[in-house]
Amino acid sequence: MPATRIPAAFDRRTLLRTGLAGAGVLGGGLLLSACSGNSGSSTPGSSAGTSSGAAADFGTIALQLSWIKNIEFAGEYFATENGYYEDAGFSEVTLLAGGSGSTTAEEIIISGKALVGLSAPIGTVPSVLQGAPLKIIGTTYQKNPFCLMSLEEGTPIRTIADVKGKRLGVQAGANQTIAKGFLKANGIAESDVTIVTTGFDIAPLVSGKYDAHMSYITNEPILAEAEGKKPVVLGFADNGLPFVAETFTVLQSTIDSKRDLLKAFLKAEIQGWTDAVKDPAKSAELAANKYGKGANFGKDLDVEEQTKEAEAQNGLILTEDVNANGLFTMTDELIKENITSLAAMGYTITADKLFDLSLLEEVYKENPDLKTTFDIPTASAS
């Protein structure tokens, strides 16, 4: 059954656009309340302290998702289904769906409505540079999902050299920032291409209005195949602009005052995502038939499409470094690459201002059995 394309106005990439634009409000009340210590209140995210030898009792926390409840959060579904959150000491982990026009994860965290938010460095860094006390403590995607998708039937763009002279369909807002960063990182002048402002529907690409469409590896190529087209994908992560995505973002004050809670949460997340990447079909069933039922803006998700997206998603999550170090970890080299990529997109920051991977290091040191050797997809998602 062909996938139902999400209307342009509701595409998840609009979240990155609002994420960058919305960062401007952080100079006001939200940032002030975070700095005044309100984020440490006993509302969502509060926890009972654990004494030596006592069972953890962290109560209820909220996790702000970066988009509607679809396959992207399969690990969270498994952590709920299989009792990993409960085993970690949580009576409940409330999954707060995102969506078009919703407040950014960063703003939700700062306001105290969620303890943890799923975002990306490109979404978090503007807030941090304006003084928001936020840190990234882990990442689900080792590779960002952005790509240029062209068509074999049109003008296929297989290499960086092929980009010059082409017409690129790019959505307004953050996607143009990312696209220009991609060009800069590869030594391509903006004058060497024609950027056509477009929406998220691939129809203009199919009709030949431009040569490549800025896309998500896990989404538009699958939609193109469903329409009988042969997509050609040039991934940003493996072609000059590596940065991670679906990052776990928290307040510095949470790291300082609720370290044990965050470590328990990360352990449950690792367990959930270990199950999810091993079973794309079950992940799709949970997304389409339970957690995300009716979430596709009033429509149900398609199990077949969600399964394909889960398989493609594994190509962003699983790497040799993940097999060596564990899910959600980042090597020093990957962190450096992210800082370089952010600079190409116009954001200068040091790693220590944005990342704190020390909690994950402790989690794996205390629970070495969490490390799993995964079958890495042979066909790269990029």
Task: For residues 145 and 160, give the distance between their C-alpha atoms in angstroms, rounded to a whole number.
Answer: 17
**Would residue 3 count as lying in a domain?**
no
169 beta partners: 196, 213
- Supply the pTM of this predicted model: 0.86
Query: Residue 32: its pLDDT value, please?
Result: 37
- Would you give the DSSP letter of residue 211? S
Task: For residues 301 and 299, give the distance between their C-alpha atoms in angstroms, rounded to a whole number.
Answer: 7
* Same domain for 323 and 282: yes
Q: At what angle do helices 174-185 and 332-344 cross, to 10 degrees?
A: 110
Q: How many domains does the chain have?
A: 2
Residues spanned by the domain of 317: 8-144+243-370
Q: Are 329 and 339 in contact (CB under 8 A)?
A: no
251 beta partners: 134
Longest dimension (CA), the chain: 66
The pair of three-digit structure tokens given for residue 331, joined into one six-digit string: 């090597």
* Same domain for 220 and 156: yes
Tell me the CATH number at 185: 3.40.190.10
Residue type, 21: A
The count of residues in the chain is 382
Burial-class residue 38 by CB neighbours within 10 Å (0-12, 13-18, 19+): middle
Query: Residue 301: its pLDDT value, please?
Result: 93
From the CA atom positions of the chain, what is the Rg in Å?
20
* Per-residue model confidence as pLDDT tens digits over 250-305: 999 999 999 999 999 999 999 999 999 999 999 999 999 999 998 777 789 999 99
* Same domain for 279 and 229: no
Query: Residue 38: its pLDDT value, please?
Result: 36
* Same domain for 335 and 248: yes
Query: In angstroms, how far is CA 224 from the centroid of its own chain?
Result: 22
* Per-residue model confidence as pLDDT tens digits over 55-80: 789 999 999 999 899 999 999 999 99
Helix (H) or strand (E) holding 92: strand 90-96
As averages over each run of 10 residues, the pLDDT of the chain (382 residues) reads 33 40 40 38 39 73 95 98 98 90 87 97 96 98 97 98 98 92 97 96 97 96 96 97 98 98 98 98 97 84 96 97 98 98 97 98 98 85 38
**Would residue 379 count as lying in a domain?**
no
Query: Residue 5: its pLDDT value, please?
Result: 34
Domain boundary, last residue among 207, 235, 263: 235
* Same domain for 260 and 138: yes
Query: Residue 173: its pLDDT value, please?
Result: 85
* Same domain for 289 and 166: no
